[in-house]
Each structure stands twice: as structure tokens, then as C-alpha cells.
Amino acid sequence: MLASGVLSAGFLSLATLVRAGTVTYNWNATWVWASPDGFARPVIGINGQWPCPLLNATLNDTVIVNFSNNLVNETSGLHFHGLNQLGTEDMDGPTGVTQCPVPPGSTIQYRFTVPNAGSYWYHSHDLGQYPDGLRGPLVVHDPNDPYIGQYDEEIILGVSDCIELGRQMLTPTNTHFAPPFPDALLINDGKGADINFVKGKTYRIRMICYSALSSAFIHFEKHVMNVIMTDASYIQEQEADMLRIAPAQRYDFLLTAGDNDSGNYPFLISLDTNRDYTNASLGVSFPHNYTGYLVMDNSKRLDNTLTVSKWEPYDDSKFKGKDGAGPLSPRNELVELDFKFCFDKNGDPRSCLNGLTYLTQPVPTLYTATTTGENNTNPLIYGQVNPAIVNYGDVVQIVLNNYDEALHPFHLHGHQFQVLDRPLSGAGKWSGQDINYSSEPLSRDTVTVYANSYVVIRFKATNPGVWLFHCHIEWHVEMGLTATIIEAPDHLRGFTFPDEFLNICKLQNIPYEGNAAGNTDNYTDTSGFVTLAPKQYNG
């Protein structure tokens, strides 16, 4: 077992890491009471505690998580956000996609290797559940990390919004598609994050955004962040005075306590609840803020504050990949997606990609891909999951056109992608021409597309599986803002699943073979496909 490495809230010790070939975690998910924002409510904890624990591993370890669902009234599951799951596509975790939901009273074992180091996180990918607490940090260490010896301590800085789910989002009266808005800003899920700042030391901050809706800004008084990693991909070092971190993103940066430093330095984190913080005409405001401190003198009061007159974060699309590699080319597969809000036949507000909202089907999509033989290259058999079929080895370009007046963070499972172009708000639709792209693009797994603008990303299809591409505003996932990449389906035929994964399907009478509806005689028989989301509210 790898030592947990937890010194105190958010802190990691390099000295306590013990390299091992296999790390095992036995996790029991239950409801627990917590009051991170001063108001008690039930949240989903692990082993009777919340916040949920750190998952710690070393590069190339095998990670085993024995996950037991004892929530009594809800199904559940785990997704390991940012891990590519190469060769273990059945361990990715989104229910209805790579597995059936884990019913109460059942246990399954997630087992995978971690071939890439960096800062990640895990969370439920079922029932819009992670805002209710089932989330936590995941750190993979590299004994040959290029920054080993350049920093003295590691610190996890978790940022999240806190939302009491009192609003009915999916009801016809919600004609403006308004999500629930945050009631509070949480730092390390309520534990806070003052940093013991010692002269002469350098600190590696692993900042993770667990938010369901809101991004966050960060700025340190008299200290510049030296950013070294985005979403577990190293970049060319870049100094930044301010950063904006979107839901699901991670930044690793270095902070140094210089020889001339003395006293205590505040840092400010502000929750970005605005539709578009760059558009002052929309009434930009920041009602939720947190002041933490770089503490050099414990004898002094921590009451000095920090204000920011205008948030102007470093443009993260300008970060450059550390390897200096150019764009993947030639591009030979294009997936262009137009995002707009829409209403379904019930009159309920939804999100649409190319005019269609994502609808979970009876059979998990990976199970359809593995059990339908040569038919698995036909997008018709998958139902309304917005499927895109790509071949092994393709250089896939995804273009997302955002017709909304708000910024949206989009995440791709199974891959780090190159960000080739991400213009600011008001750029309009992609021109259709591949021009003026970054010559040294960064790689990451979650990118923000600006309002009334677009983003262009590329990845190489060398990871056979079924991978979601979705907005990481959790309420928009619930509204159907998701597409599905069916990657190298010819490599998936005959894939076998662990018996316990099939058993949880059987326990719930969920079909686990055939097309989207479980039809095994005629894979193009669409009877039984889900074509309309169930009405969740009587509005």
C-alpha cells in the first residue's frame, strides 16, 4: 500500500511516498453529515468521512479500488478524471457508457495502471452526483519528474462551488436554461488553505477545480505563479499573475518564498459565477471570495486582505507544450459540433449538439460496441448518444461552435488533446479553414470555449474505447450536453468484461449486449431506443 502522504488539509509530503507496484483502496460510499459552508446537509463520503480521501499512486503502479455502494437510495460509480485508461477502457466509469450503475449493496473492483504522472481527480459519473460530495484528489507521482529537486513541498489546493439543489432546472418554466447557482465557495472542501511559507523554499501547488458550475480566479500578493503543468501535461514554464481554472481543470505551479520575503501574504480566490466575465455589459460580479495566506510569521494576525480591481487571467490557450511539438497532422477526421440550448418534446430545457440532446440508452455504449461484431461501425446502432465513429490511428479534429452567451468547459475522456485554437468571445463560428494554429500547442483534457466562439482541438485515435466529450458543468451534462467518440470499434469486438461488472447489470435487469436497446437479432432494429428523456419534474 502506498502511504497516503497527507500531512494536513491539502498538504503532501514527498518523504512519505513509498514506491510500490500495486496500491489498493477499499472504499465504502455512504451518506454522511457535513457543513463545509456552515450549513449541515447530507453528502456522499467514503468510509464514513468527508471530504473524500486522496488517492495517491506512483507512475506505472497498478491501482485497485474496491468500491462498495452503501448509499441505500442511489446507484453510484467512479470516474478517474484525466486518466486515459489505455487498455482498460471498461474502467473509465461513466454509467450508461462504460458500465452499468453500481446498485446499493454491491461492490465492484476498478483496476488499472497509471502510465502518466500528474494531478487528477476522481468523482462519481452517475446521477449528477459529484456535487453531493463524491469527489477527491488523485495524484500520480513520477520518480523522474523533471522538477524533482526544484521544490520542497507539494500542496493540494481544491476549489469548488457549493450548491444547495433547490431549483428545478429541467422544467418547462426554466425558459432561460438557468442552472442552480452557488451558495458558497469551498477551498479544500471547507478546510481552507493557509500555507506555511518558509523563506528559501519552493512549493508545488496542485490546484484542482471540483466545481459543478463555476470557474475560479486566483492571485497571490507579491508572488507570481510559475505554471508548469496543465491537466497533467507539462508545459513550457510560464509566469502568471492571475489564473482562471474551469470546472475539471488542474494547474500545477511553483511558488517560491524569496530571501526578501517577510510577513504574511494574502491570496485571493474568487468564484466566477458570470456567464462571461469578459463582457461587462452582462453585469459581472464576484459574490463568493476566499482569502488565504502564505504564512511566514505565526505571531502576526491574518487580517490583511487583497482586492483585485479587474480579473485579467493569463490566456491559458497561449501556454506552450513542453516538448515543443507542432500540431498533430495530417488531420483526417473532422467532428464538428454546434452547441445550442433547446427544448425537448416535453417542453423541458435541454442542451443540443447538432440539434440533438444526448440520451442515455438501455445498454451501456461500450457494451454495444463490444458485442455487435462488424455492425459496431454503424452509428445507427448506438442510439441518440451523439456518436462519432473514428478509426484507429486517425488524427481527429473536434471543432466545437458555441452559440451561447456563456463560457463552457469541455472535457474529453480517454485522451490528452492539443488545443490548436481558442479565440475569445464573439469570434463566431469556425471558418472551416485550418489556419493560424499554435505552432507549439499545449495538451490538456478540459478546455474552455468562450461565448459565441469556438475551439479547435486534435488527438490521435490510438486508444480504442468509448469516450465521452462533454461540458463539465454538471447541470449541462444532465441537460444532455454530451457527444460520444466510438474509437477504433474494430479493436473492441469480443472485449470481455469482469464478471462483477456484468453481474451488476443483471441485478438491475439492464441488458449488456446487442444494440442500444439490447436487440441482438437485428442490430439495426431501433425499437426500444430511448428517444425522449424521462420527465423529471411535474413543473
* Residue 432 neighbours by CB under 8 Å, 6+ apart: none
**Residues 130, 172: one domain?**
no
**Residues 27, 1: one domain?**
yes
Chain centroid to CA 30: 22
User: Does the residue 66 lie in any domain?
Assistant: yes
**Residues 162, 99: one domain?**
no
User: Does the residue 534 lie in any domain?
Assistant: no
Q: What is the pLDDT of residue 322?
A: 93
User: Does the residue 522 lie in any domain?
Assistant: no
Which pTM does this prediction carry?
A: 0.94
User: Does the residue 535 lie in any domain?
Assistant: no
Q: Determine the length of the chain.
A: 539
- What CATH number should be reported for the domain holding residue 368? 2.60.40.420
Q: What is the pLDDT of residue 2?
A: 30
**Strand ordering across the sheet containing 215-220:** 195-196, 289-295, 264-272, 215-220, 242-245
**Residues 223, 267: one domain?**
yes
**Residues 141, 194: one domain?**
no
**Residues 21, 85: one domain?**
yes
Sign of the alpha-carbon torsion through 80, 81, 82, 87? positive
**Residues 230, 281: one domain?**
yes
Q: What is the pLDDT of residue 166?
A: 44
Q: How far apart are CA 519 and CA 70, in angstroms?
A: 32
Cell digits of residue 253: 505551479
DSSP for 234-286? EEEEEEESEEEE-TT-EEEEEEE--TT--SEEEEEEEEE-SS-TT-GGG----
For residue 80, the SS3 value is: strand
Q: What is the CA radius of gyration of the chain?
A: 22
DSSP for 306-361? ---SS-----GGG-BBTT------S--EEEEEEEEEEE-TTS-EEEEETTB-----
Tally the domains of the chain: 3
**Residues 383, 438: one domain?**
yes
**Residues 246, 134: one domain?**
no
Cell digits of residue 406: 456563456
User: Does the residue 178 lie in any domain?
Assistant: yes
User: Does the residue 78 lie in any domain?
Assistant: yes
Q: How far apart are CA 331 and CA 457, in angstroms?
A: 11
**Structural domain that includes position 481:** 333-507
* Residue 347 neighbours by CB under 8 Å, 6+ apart: 172
**Residues 308, 347: one domain?**
no
**Residues 132, 206: one domain?**
no
Cell digits of residue 387: 456518436
User: Does the residue 528 lie in any domain?
Assistant: no
Instruction: Give the pLDDT means over successive 10-residue stretches in the chain (539 positions).
Output: 33 47 97 92 96 97 98 97 98 98 98 97 96 97 95 98 66 70 93 96 98 97 98 97 98 96 96 97 96 96 94 97 92 97 93 97 98 98 98 98 98 98 98 94 98 98 98 95 98 97 98 98 98 71
Q: What is the pLDDT of residue 163?
A: 77
Q: What is the pLDDT of residue 38?
A: 87
**Residues 132, 255: one domain?**
no
Q: What is the pLDDT of residue 168?
A: 57
User: Does the residue 151 lie in any domain?
Assistant: no
Q: How far apart are CA 452 and CA 427, in angstroms?
A: 6
Q: How far apart are CA 441 and CA 317, in angstroms?
A: 8
